[in-house]
Amino acid sequence: MSSTPITKAVSRSVKTLEALTIPKKLDAVRVEELRKESLKTSRLAEAIVVKDVDGKLGAEKFAKACSDYLKRVTEYFKPEVDARAEAKRQAEADRKELAETIDAICGPVKEALGTVDQKTRDFIRAENKRIEDENQKKLLAAQKAADEEKKVQIAELKDIDTPEARRAARELKAAPTVFAPVQLEQEIKATGGAVHREAWTCIPAREDALGILVTAAAIDHSLLIYLSVNQTALNAEARKSQEKFAVPGFRAVDQGATAHR
């Protein structure tokens, strides 16, 4: 099987690491000799006194000896320093080649992921705009239907033409229009790369949920919107009890017509 650019670069990197991990062994004896020579030179420097020509010549000789020493040290360590510098340069070149190769391989995948993410965001934005518009239409339609129903009820009360009916018509007209809760579509959200469409609903939290709601609505009238009057049952009770009708908040009214002969 032929080698790929990655395997070739890895092979070179391994060799480079081996060179860095196990460097060329320096001659410990020679290094110790150079160290001892530097200590000896240090003691000689303390003894040099420059006061006359002879002292100056001695100092110049000592300075040349120091230069020769530095030259020997530099020449001795130069191969090792150059080898380590080359190993570092090669390791950096291999690292760069590997990084560029991986970027070339993964680049299209990352670009595709970015495109999918953008399409998902665009879809969610458009879908939520549609949901918002649809919900607004539902609310307006419910409000319009409630207004029309209220007008019909007021007209029916006016047709009866009794003091009670006229009073009920005035009260109904003055009362705010309340319509039944509308089932609205929930917005969708992106969760972990997936699109989640929420579908919330309401269920009783307790067996006596209705009683709790009625009690709360008696205090907070804004909750009355969640209660629906069973008009069919009320009418049946009114026909049955007539003047004895006794449902809290309601009264029985005779809306029948009188025929004269």
Query: How far apart are alpha carbons 228 and 178 in whole angstroms?
Result: 10
User: Is 178 within a domain?
Assistant: no
User: Is 222 within a domain?
Assistant: no
Tell me which amino acid residue 73 is.
V
Which two tokens mark 177?
């229009």
pLDDT of 23 reads: 42
What range defines the domain where residue 118 resides?
5-122
Cα of 229 vs its chain's centroid, Å = 45
> How many domains does the chain divide into?
1
User: Is 160 within a domain?
Assistant: no
Strand partners, 197: 188
User: Is 163 within a domain?
Assistant: no
User: Is the four-CA dihedral 162, 164, 168, 174 of positive or negative sign?
Assistant: positive
Per-residue pLDDT band at 209 (split at 50, 70, 90): confident
**Residue entry with tokens 């970027």:** 103
**Residue entry with tokens 């609310």:** 139
Which two tokens mark 250?
């309601």
pLDDT of 10 reads: 41
pLDDT of 213 reads: 84
pLDDT of 63 reads: 81
Per-residue pLDDT band at 191 (split at 50, 70, 90): low
Residue by residue, what is the 3-state secondary structure of 191-216?
ECCEEEECCCCCCCCCCCHHHHHHHH
User: Is 246 within a domain?
Assistant: no
User: Is 58 within a domain?
Assistant: yes
User: Is the four-CA dihedral 64, 68, 73, 78 of positive or negative sign?
Assistant: positive
Most confident of 46-55, 57-66, 78-87: 78-87
pTM of the model: 0.36
Phi, psi of 47 (to 5 degrees): -90, -10
Does 122 have pLDDT greater than 80?
A: yes
Strand partners, 195: 190
Q: How many helices and strands in the chain, by DSSP H and E?
A: 6, 2
User: Is 9 within a domain?
Assistant: yes
**Residue entry with tokens 């360590």:** 77
143 contacts 179 by C-beta, under 8 angstroms: yes
User: Is 215 within a domain?
Assistant: no
